[in-house]
Structure 1
């Protein structure tokens, strides 16, 4: 099944228009610096999130709290997601 990737429900033409406006406002020479800064910021956020998850898990294990329920919930959510993808795939093909 081929699915079209959407980024915040924005089409390719809209993304191109936004990039054009960004280049007009900031200039082509500043664009790599902006992208690099955004990348570093996203990486810092991801690292902080992973550190928080690690600390919560470590503290829960240290205090004897059972964290296996999260694995069960993840499995169930993935099953529901797969079922939903199967259903929406069959609906999309009919229209």
Structure 2
């Protein structure tokens, strides 16, 4: 979680509890929650304002973001395939490995079936 381990998070929580006390923490949490909500509303208003002004001028904002996101997706796929070239073949490899294992399981089941019935 954000590069913070459990022990670091626990240490921060204990430090906050010691600094501010248990009575102040709910008020701080409310303040942080309200601040985050205001920030979210402000960013949504800015986004809406940009989209509205783009509509009035006739600019298609989605074409800009769609092209960028498509390029990012392709770059991620290229990097992933360069780092792990077996990723695309992994399902074929798994099928090739599982087929003999399944055959051996069936053979063992066929051999042990009469033995199990005797007990």
2-structure distance, mates of 1:27, 1:38: 17
How many pairs align? 83
CA offset digits 1:3-56 (Å, max 9, x no partner): xxx21x211101110110100011111111111110110110011001001101
Q: Take 1:37 and 1:20, find their aligned partners in 2: how far apart are those partners?
A: 20
Gaps (5+ residues) in structure 2?
87-119
Query: Considering only aligned residues, what root-mean-square deviation do their CA atoms show, in Å?
Result: 2.4
10, 13, 19: which is aligned to 1:19? 13
Matching residue within 26, 29, 33 for 1:35: 29
The SS at the match of 1:30 is helix
TM-score (norm 1): 0.72
Q: 1:56-75, aligned counterparts within 5 Å?
A: 56-67=50-61, 68-75=63-70
TM-score (norm 2): 0.59
| Larger-Rg structure | 2
Higher relative contact order (CA 8 A, sep 6+): 1
Higher helix share: 2
